[in-house]
Amino acid sequence: MNIAGVIEHNQIDDEAIFDLVMTTDFFFNEDALKKMTKHLEEAYELDPANLERPTFAKGLKEMVGLEEGDKLIGQVSLNGQFKKVPKSLDKTFMFNDVKMKWDSDSKSFRSFGRIGLSNIKDKQINKYLTGKIELIKKRSGDVLTIYLEIDKNNWYFFTYTRGTMQAISSNVDFNADITETKPDKRKSKAEKGQEPYQYMYSTKRKQRDFLRKFEE
């Protein structure tokens, strides 16, 4: 993960609000990601992401440097999007608008409001989705969960902890790409100092339990 943006501290409520640009990069099934990308590209009912907000410009410069950041911001001003996604931002997911705050009950950082998705790998989306992102800090291993929803019947769910990324969707073709991939092809060799990694098919119950936490 790579995160940049702005933190605002409300001293009256003693609450910190994180206004972020965020990338997360992980080994995953390329065909499944392509199907997800196509699904989101064709979701014309979704609102376009606001690429003119100051935090997006600030976050870009922090992530890619001032020179390349200014170049990308110029492209957005002229064309409404990047000319093409630069290699430095070619990640599994790049979010251009995520707002998070600390939840003391769950001891986690949780997103609130809509989530702006910039790109999946080198394909630009630039749309707002309903969704939730949660990062739990644990001694046994941090937990990152991402839930993205076009509508109640069309959604994608990813949850990672201790070297395993689980994913499931309402999109049966996305799920099939995961389940039909042999287990050894779902593993990534660990670099020196890193733990082994694999992705696998998740369960509807995990997705349901995750959303229920927010409702409570």
**Residue 149: what pLDDT?**
97
Per-residue model confidence as pLDDT tens for the chain (216 residues): 999 999 998 888 888 999 999 999 999 999 999 999 999 999 999 999 999 999 999 999 999 999 999 999 999 999 999 999 999 999 999 999 999 999 888 889 999 999 999 999 999 999 999 999 999 988 888 999 999 999 999 999 999 999 999 999 999 999 999 999 999 999 998 778 778 899 999 999 999 999 998 887
- According to DSSP H, which parts of the chain are helical? 30-41, 54-64, 66-79, 172-179, 204-215
Taking the CA atoms of residue 197, residue 199, residue 205 and residue 207 in that order, the dihedral angle to the nearest 10 degrees is 90
**Residue 171: what pLDDT?**
98
**Residue 135: what pLDDT?**
96
pTM equals: 0.94
**Residue 11: what pLDDT?**
83
Q: What is the DSSP string of 39-61?
A: HHHT-TTSPBP-TTSHHHHHHHH
Distances from the Cα of 69 to the Cαs of 15, 75, 82, 179, in angstroms? 30, 10, 11, 39
Distances from the Cα of 113 to the Cαs of 61, 116, 130, 163, 191, in angstroms? 24, 10, 7, 29, 36
**Residue 154: what pLDDT?**
98
